Structure 1
Amino acid sequence: MFISLAVTTAVMSALLLVSAGAKSLRTRHITEQMSTLGVPQRMMAFLIAAQVAGAAGAVAGLWWAPLGIAAAIGLTLYFAGAVAFHLRVGDRTGALPAAVLTAASVALVVLRAATL
């Protein structure tokens, strides 16, 4: 079970860091998408920090379970919020990846709790 947790954590952390990096570059695609979703530019630093903290917490949670569970719950809330923002503006295509990442975050919670 721990191997499944470690693999899921590694994949999620890599995706989070890639996403945070893309947001920090503020490419036209990212800024247009955030504008469409109604996310103010001043929130970008918070979103980047949340993703980096989630990745770091998930990895550190491999050694200290309460931190991993807390990070995974935070990521679940983060991505559930992303789904809500996409659906609010009728962007079902953009909601799908966020929904998959929400499910992966829930899987992190379950896997970490199962390996206590």
Structure 2
Amino acid sequence: MFATYLVVTLLASAVSGLAAAANLTGHAYPARQADKLSVPRSWMRPLGVLLAAGALGLPAGFAVPVLGTLAAAGLVLYFAGALCAHLRVGDRQLGPWAAFFCLSAAALATGLAHHGPGWPPT
């Protein structure tokens, strides 16, 4: 079980970290997505910070399980909000969203399966 938890968590962290870097550096892809979804470009950096917090929190969960649980749950909520943004404007191209969401949900599920909820600390 630990091997699955390790691989899924590191993969979700890496993918979220790359997305955070793209948002924080002003890469063209997230900017085009923001325009397509009617999300103000001024939100790009705060959204990138949220992704970065999740990406850093996931591997922190190896040492402090509650941090990993909170980071994974935060990423799941982040991508649930992204789904709402896609649906709000009628965008049905959800492949990339599904990959991010499923990785975050898998990180949450494997973390909970490995550690339990992580709170209260035992």
| TM-score, length basis structure 1 | 0.90
CA distance in 2, matches of 1:29, 1:53: 20
Moved over 4 A (4+): none
> What letter is aligned with 1:114?
A
Question: What percentage of aligned pairs have identical amino acids?
Answer: 38
- Deviation of 1:2 (Å): 1.2
Indicate the residue corresponding to 1:82 in structure 2.
82
Deviations 1:68-104 (A, max 9, x none): 11111000000111111112212211x2221232222
Q: Equivalents in 1 of 2:30, 2:104: separation in Å?
A: 22
Aligned partner of 1:12 in structure 2 is 12
Deviation for aligned residue 1:29: 3.4
Q: How does 1:42-81 map to 2 (within 5 A)?
A: 42-81=42-81
Runs (5+) with no aligned partner, structure 2: 116-122
| Between structures 1 and 2, the one with greater helix share | 1
Partners of 1:103 and 1:92 lie apart in 2 by: 17
One-letter identity of the residue aligned with 2:74: G
Aligned to 2:40: 40
1:108 maps to which residue? 107
Q: Give the stretch that moved more between structures: 23-32 or 60-69.
A: 23-32
Contact 1:80 1:99 in 2 (8 A): no
Distance apart, 1:67 and its partner CA: 0.9
Unaligned runs of 5+ in 1: none
TM-score by length of 2: 0.86
3-state SS of paired residue (2:39): coil
Corresponding residue pairs, total: 115
1:28 Cα shift? 3.3
Give the Cα separation in 2 of the matches to 1:28 and 1:111: 33
1:96 matched to 2:95: yes
